[in-house]
Structure 1
């Protein structure tokens, strides 16, 4: 049970009150009983209290704010964060038990009103949940409610209120390959037209107006640079005539000069450090580094847009029809070069110029310009571009041991597959690759990486390997799996599926492996050809003998997209067939 009341008494005085009762049936649900509250200079926790009851409803204990742990919310890579958290988990080891929380928070702003989701997770059942929003009768609100009955509205000369209710929502098992929760989750989002935030006033009804406020209040006049830096940039690109070539040189200058550190201060963590501060200190967060890069480009007259994006490997668009400051967790830079729009990720000192990676590709973003906000789309890393291409030359000796070389090229979204390995020690690289390749008795004698940094970058991995006892010998036969390095796992079943099938990102894997066979192997095999396809992708593999060489080829394609719920069985079978084909063993006869 939960009751949430938001009372917007004024633009700088919003009271957020919650009463909730949570029953925990076993240890697996224990974390759902934990309460975590954030606060800072703009958010004050006014009161917390609660009780714990046993399975028959007998009071076991009470607690108050003094029982909560109080810690900094600073991340390991953060600097100057002023956010803190209070958190509490009852120390109960008999189940079931019920914890009741009552707390009240005051927000000194109304730009960000927390969204209400009556069912926060699949494994939580909801008996009853209500949400009431109260404000003055003349307040203009934009409200987005989805998968809920219409609100009950009340109004008089002093206030108006909206109340939503959700009852008897069962816990459900999560379904694999489901869409992101915000597509199907019941929720209410509210954005007042008039707002106050850290003593900054404003109003907006759409992304154009919000982007204008962003530019005017948060970004303008924060791009001044030291005269010496201005001259350095001019000298850096004086021999370049093409804006893109100039931008690339300036980007690499920025990467060399700066490093990323999270900084959550200023106007609620939304306003960047000034360009002069980043220039002097050599560090900044995403906002500061984008603002700095934008300032450097402006020195030579290259236009760019400061863009707010919801970053992460899961692709999330900003809602084109509902503008709010609750959306977006990262900032990138857009260069609207004539006929060649280019995007820059400014927090990664190693990433190639013009490459966004799967962290921010293929999603709607807000460009904040002097003319207001513009919704733009970042480029998509396609199924065809998300390539992993591997070629291997392997020698199998008469006892079944394997040695040889592998070369793998990673591009598109798969370019990041080995980024974490690049800068590790050789010992750490060996350990990581043993986990990634997952082949018994594999040893890496040589590990080499080559980066081809351009807008469509490629990473090449060169390995020398030894695999003891890869092939099995028995009764005059030699057995081994043709697909040594890229076996794809099957996926779990999903009976009585409700949600659509969602594949976030497509990819293409191509493997060519040549096995040099020992002299005591008879040069004969049954032809091996596998090929099947459907809406979800395609698979083909074949093997053939060429003298003492056994050549194996495999191509596996998975397509991104959203598919009907009843198609999951087809997808499940497709992936099961891939797994079976990947485990195919070759049987070779040995000379007597």
Structure 2
């Protein structure tokens, strides 16, 4: 056996012995970390071993032993937490604290362990809990060394291994999977060169994946999702058992069949609802009219409450419970909606989806339960319904649900599909503002939002009080408002548009210098700058924006001012993004027409520098000044409006 192998075995035994006994650990000294692992790192994983021991399709044990050096107090690694729920038990075995030189400072006392609910919000019902310790850290940098164990007696899925977060480096990390020889566990690795090893021990199969000296990846705004750039070991059971049910993740059809089975017949309507449904749809002539009527009834009569109880959080409350309590989570409301449709002969499927801005991890060749939400699909009408919203029009889904891969839960099992999206051409914002340079100065404006650009306006209309609406408007207005005289927010029931109308008194508009007044080309609706200023990116830049904004600003010339300088028109474009501005004198008004189009894009770090150059040009054009000069010989009457 080589000298190197002897040294590796000695180091492993030394690490393991130290972790169990809590001695001074000179190998944890910060000075011993390779300098290449310190760049961009707020924490360095010195040692980790996660062991997953699968005893049967129903039971497994997870053991974690870890040592991590913390350089930033905001690092998530500074929190020692152990998740569990009603299907499991947890034990936080030990926590040790070492200083920058590896000297043992203190050991966790059992009295310091807290046991808390995962969510404190009363609107969330869950059986998820955490064991953890609070305020255990010392003077930076320091090292935490801990060990915990969880035992699960029901299995729907296995915990994936995420050995690295952004801004973390790894010295040594290992995952060990122990399974019965006859139990198949599907595995898939992403984004790293894992060292893989497989062996047998009697009736047990042992697999391991190891990472050594992995550098930190910076946390950058608008970067790729973690599952595209961080090391990941995914696992899914070929067979699992939870409650009275046995399921499979061998393929999407099988997993969908399990979800269908655990929710079967839970949509059955109580007699009172059967009568009500017949009554409310009696005058409806088409299936779409029936769907619209029942969907609006659900929106106005049921309340959304997040529930993460039951079988893996995926078994719905039955329809009788929902009708009695008048609330439900996404599963319960979707199942209830499905049951209402069934009473009038309309078939609908439950749909599981990852509701997020980012695209979910949804491989075709690996069954991975990354879903966090349920909605409804009506195949006969090619209609998708978000049952937790009380303001979306019938058949319209949220922006972050559009164009997503989903799994339909059908009687035949799971079927992969994709949600629709609103065409980019329909996602628009149109504004018109008129500014009167009187004493006092005034502004009168209106915004029209269409397509997926209505989310904020709808939220203000349905959820905010008049005072909250005014507060939001003032906080997001780019002008200096002395008094908001009128504010009116509305939305069309059809979902075609939402609007904001306002009148306000300004305390300032532009800047006066001597006899000149300087007015920015667009100080009312400045374009969004997609550049963070960091032109030394390491990861791709991703933008999902897809809209066009048109602004018309009319600036009334004051009676004693004349135009000295009017900027010329500008036009810039970059990979589907467009910006233009044009200024004209129309009667006694300066008309500023501004248009910007944002297109979805994914850019390499090199292309990102080109985007920054584009945004710089836009910003310069937008900050150009209209120059007005005071002239007593050109007094005019103030205009009334364009």
The partner residue of 1:446 within 463, 486, 497 is 486
What's the CA shift string for 1:140-175, capped at 9, x where partnerless? 121111123352111244111221111112224323
Total equivalences in the alignment = 583
Give the TM-score taking structure 2 as reference length.
0.87
Change (3 A) 1:79 1:148: closer
Q: Distance in 2 between matches of 1:506 and 1:478?
A: 36
Would you say 1:13 and 2:72 are equivalent positions?
no
Kept in 2: contact 1:310–1:318 (CA 8 A): no
Give the TM-score taking structure 1 as reference length.
0.94
Q: Which runs of 5+ in 1 are unaligned?
A: none
Change (3 A) 1:442 1:14: farther
Corresponding residue number in structure 1 for 2:88: 43
The partner residue of 2:289 within 237, 242, 245 is 245
Higher alpha-carbon deviation: 456-465 or 244-253: 456-465
The partner residue of 2:233 within 177, 188, 207 is 188
**Structure (1 or 2) with the greater helix fraction:** 2
Kept in 1: contact 2:457–2:489 (CA 8 A): no
The partner residue of 2:608 within 560, 563, 568 is 568
Change (3 A) 1:261 1:404: same
**Which has the larger Rg?**
2
Correspondences of 1:154-553 after superposition (within 5 Å): 154-216=199-261, 218-316=262-360, 318-325=362-369, 327-338=370-381, 341-397=382-438, 401-422=440-461, 423-454=463-494, 456-490=495-529, 491-522=531-562, 525-526=565-566, 528-553=568-593
Q: Which runs of 5+ in 2 are unaligned?
A: 1-46, 633-642
The partner residue of 1:584 within 610, 621, 624 is 624
Q: Distance in 1 between matches of 2:202 and 2:450?
A: 62
Deviation at 1:328, TM superposition (A): 0.5
Corresponding residue number in structure 1 for 2:18: none
Deviation at 1:564, TM superposition (A): 2.9
Q: Distance in 2 between matches of 1:48 and 1:78?
A: 32
Correspondences of 1:68-217 after superposition (within 5 Å): 68-78=113-123, 80-120=125-165, 122-149=166-193, 151-216=196-261
What's the CA shift string for 1:436-492, capped at 9, x where partnerless? 1132235321111111133x5421111112211213232322211231322135422
Q: Distance in 2 between matches of 1:296 and 1:526?
A: 62
Deviation at 1:432, TM superposition (A): 1.3
What's the CA shift string for 1:20-63, capped at 9, x where partnerless? 1111124343x421112222210210342121111221111111
Deviation at 1:306, TM superposition (A): 0.2
What's the CA shift string for 1:70-109, capped at 9, x where partnerless? 1122342435422222222443442221110101111123
Kept in 2: contact 1:531–1:539 (CA 8 A): yes
